[in-house]
Structure 1
Amino acid sequence: MSLFLDTNILLYAMMEEGTEKAGIADSILLDQECHISVQTLNEATNTLRRKTKLPLNDIKTLITDFRGLVTIHPITEAVYSRGWAIIERYGLQTYDAMILACAIDNGIETLLSEDMQNGQKIFDMVTIINPFQKTVD
């Protein structure tokens, strides 16, 4: 199954070494066919620059390593337009809407994110799943 990833999945794999969430993020990246948008790379780079004291070259190396694990999709004008439709219909944040629109544009039906509503369907085309949420038996 192909999965589209929100930025937080990459960040847990990069910044939370040894935690349960990092383990989940690592297994997703290593065991699934994963896709991201250029928006995700931008957000991850920005967060690493703000929240770590890593030198730029180390951040660049981290991002380059993750680029080798995923398929990266551009934010096109069509994605931007669909993103606006998502903002207007669902009231989501701009960057989240653009990531969702990119998933839809590329035919990916599942977006993994900790920050959006678990189980929400966007235009009946993509479902948001929180891979860190504990299931109740």
Structure 2
Amino acid sequence: MSLFLDTNILLYAMMEEGTEKASIADSILLDQDCHISVQTLNEATNTLRRKTKLSLDDIKTLITDFRGLVTIHPITEAVYSRGWSIIERYRLQTYDAMILACAIDNGIETLLSEDMQNGQKIFDIVTIINPFQKATD
């Protein structure tokens, strides 16, 4: 099954070494057919620059390594337009809507995210799943 990933999945794998969330994120990245948008790369790069003391070269190397684990999709005008439809209907944040729109545009039915509503279905096409939420939550 193909999975579309929100930025937080990449960040847990990059920044939270030794935690349960990092272990889950690593497993997803190594064992699944993972897809992201260019938006996700931008958000991850920005967060690493703001929240770590890594050099630009180290950030570039880290991002390059993760690029080899996923399929990357562009944010096109069609994705942007669909993203607006998601914003208007579901009132989601702009960047979240664009990531969801990119998943829809690429035929991927599951988006993994910690930040969006677990189990929410967008346009009856994509289901948001929080991979860190325990079954009892």
Shorter-chain TM-score bucket reads over 0.9
Per-residue CA deviation, residues 55-96 of structure 1 (Å, 9 max, x unaligned), is 000000000000000000000000000000000000000000
- CA distance, structure 2, for counterparts of residue 67 and residue 29 of structure 1: 11
Displacement, 1:13?
0.1
- CA distance, structure 2, for counterparts of residue 136 and residue 22 of structure 1: 20
Q: TM-score, normalised by structure 2?
A: 0.99
Per-residue CA deviation, residues 19-40 of structure 1 (Å, 9 max, x unaligned), is 0000000000000000000000
What is the DSSP-based 3-state SS (H/G/I as helix, E as strand, rest coil) of the residue aligned with 2:119? Answer: coil
Q: Equivalent residues in 2 for 1:1-137 (5 A)?
A: 1-136=1-136
Displacement, 1:11?
0.1
Displacement, 1:136?
1.8
- CA distance, structure 1, for counterparts of residue 117 and residue 48 of structure 2: 24
State the identity as a percent.
93
Displacement, 1:10?
0.1
RMSD value, Cα: 0.8
Per-residue CA deviation, residues 82-114 of structure 1 (Å, 9 max, x unaligned), is 000000000000000000000000000000000
Count of paired positions: 137
- CA distance, structure 2, for counterparts of residue 116 and residue 17 of structure 1: 23
What is the DSSP-based 3-state SS (H/G/I as helix, E as strand, rest coil) of the residue aligned with 1:114? Answer: coil
- CA distance, structure 2, for counterparts of residue 4 and residue 129 of structure 1: 10
- CA distance, structure 1, for counterparts of residue 136 and residue 17 of structure 2: 26
Displacement, 1:14?
0.1
In structure 2, the gaps of 5 or more residues are none
- CA distance, structure 2, for counterparts of residue 56 and residue 69 of structure 1: 20
Displacement, 1:6?
0.1
